[in-house]
Amino acid sequence: MERLKNEDEIRRRLCEGLSGPTFSVVFESTLVDFEAVRNVLLKNNAGDLVENRILEVNLFEERSYSILIIKLRERDCIASCEQRCGNRESQCFGECFFRCLAYEKSEAEEKLCR
């Protein structure tokens, strides 16, 4: 099976995942070309909105593959809101964090869902 390289389809999947309830999307290396995903993020100026990790998965000794996890930069929201509000348990932090995530989500939608 050929790996997905179609940038419109990759952008659609990024849009759905990053603007969905989990603010994330997972791609598997045998199904999607990771370089094509990177290109879509760069072409749409969305690289600064996300953080990503590649994890190696070993199901059996003879079968292993990689997954690419892309999610909105919630760490930036956490850091910003901790600085602004202090305690993570405060109402200020909760409101700040979800407002920040909503902004990041709207930015992702603007760049990837048009």
This prediction's pTM: 0.85
List the domain range (segments joined by +) for residue 105.
Answer: 7-112
What would the pLDDT profile of 16-34 be if each residue is shown by its tens digit?
999 888 899 999 998 999 9
User: What is the pLDDT at residue 106?
Assistant: 94
What would the pLDDT profile of 90-100 be if each residue is shown by its tens digit?
999 999 999 99
Residue 2 within a domain = no
Strand partners, 57: 65
What is the count of structural domains for the chain?
1
Residue 51 within a domain = yes
Residue 61 within a domain = yes
